Amino acid sequence: MQIFTCPFCGPRDEREFHFAAEAGKTRPDTRQQIDPETWATYLHAQRNEKGRTREVWMHLTCAELFLMERDSVTMEVYATTPLRKEPQ
């Protein structure tokens, strides 16, 4: 079992988290007609890089999204950063 640190709730069991997306992956503009191949590539193609990577995760308990920097080989987590900004 692995412990991830939610930037909002603190350390929690990995079962409370869900992988959301690769960081930096750009969604196609859905205001335009999108061909099925482009949409399928966006939904299903993953880089699956080995080593240090940046991913968007969701903590299911608080429903917050955050950026996780981790090593996909060793599973070491380097940092977790909130994606939302505090109201000013």
What are the respective helix, strand and coil percentages of the chain, to the nearest 5? 15, 40, 45
Domains of the chain: 3-82 (3.30.2270.10)
Kindly tell me the burial class for residue 54, based on how many C-beta atoms sit within 10 Å of its own C-beta (0-12, 13-18, 19 or more): middle
Q: pLDDT tens digits for the chain (88 residues)?
A: 899 999 999 999 999 999 998 998 888 888 889 999 999 988 888 888 899 999 999 999 999 999 999 999 999 999 999 998 776 5
